Amino acid sequence: MVYWREVTADRSDQNVRESKLKKIEYSKHPHVCAIEGDWEGVKNYYEDKPDELLIPMTVCSDTVFHLAASCCSKAQGKEVLEMLINILRNSTIYDPRSALRKLNNTGNNTLHSVSLSGNVEAAEYLVINFNEPVELEGEVIISSSASSNYIENDALPLLETRNHLRETPLFRAAAIGQVLCSQTAGG
C-alpha cells in the first residue's frame, strides 16, 4: 500500500515570474534614482544601457518612461522624457513611438501616465512628436482582447490608444479631473 504520491509541479510560470523579478532587481538603481527625483542618475545609468529602457522597473510593469511621466515635477517632465527618448534613439532596436506605447499591467502607456499627472507641457510634447502610428508589417487584426492592445495601440495615433479598460489618455485625464491637460492635448 502506497501512502504518498510524488507530484511534479509545472514550474514554467514560476520561472517566468522569477525571470521578471530578476529584471526588476537589475533595475533597482535607476528605479531608486527615479523615485528620488535624481534624473541625472537615471541618465547616467541608461546612457550605457539604452536597450534596458523598456525593461519593467516595478511589479506593475512600469518602465522608466511610466515613472518619468508620473514622478517628475511638471517643470521637468518634458525635459526628462526628452532625455530618455534621446537615449533610446542611441539604440537601434526600438522606435520611440513604439516604446512610448509600451503598456504596464493596467494597459497604460506613457501618455496615459502623463495625462494622469496633469503635465500639459509633457503631454503636448508627446502628442506633437509621437502621435503618428507605428508602421507595422503585414495586416493588423484589431480585436478586443487585452493581449492584443500592444499591436492595436501601435496601429493607432498615440492620442487614440486605449488601456485595458478601453480608456484613451484624454479620457483618463478628464476622468480624474485633469481638465486642463485633456483640453490642451485634445485641441
Q: Which residue has the cell 522597473?
A: 57
pLDDT higher than threshold 60 for residue 169: yes
Percent of the chain having pLDDT more than 70?
75
What's the rounded Cα separation, in Å, for the pair 138 and 22? 34
Domains of the chain in start order, with CATH, are 15-132+140-186 (1.25.40.20)
3-state secondary structure of 173: helix
Read off the DSSP letter of residue 100: T
List of long-range contacts for 79-83, beta carbons under 8 Å, 24+ apart = 80/39, 80/42, 81/110, 81/114, 81/122, 81/125, 81/126, 82/125, 83/39, 83/43
DSSP 140: P
Decide which of 182 and 3 is more confident.
3
Structure confidence at residue 183 (pLDDT): 52
Report whether pLDDT(14) > 90: no
Beta-carbon count within 10 A of 10 CB:
7
Averaging pLDDT over each range in 98-112, 146-160, 169-183, which range is the top one?
98-112
Cell 495601440 locates to 153
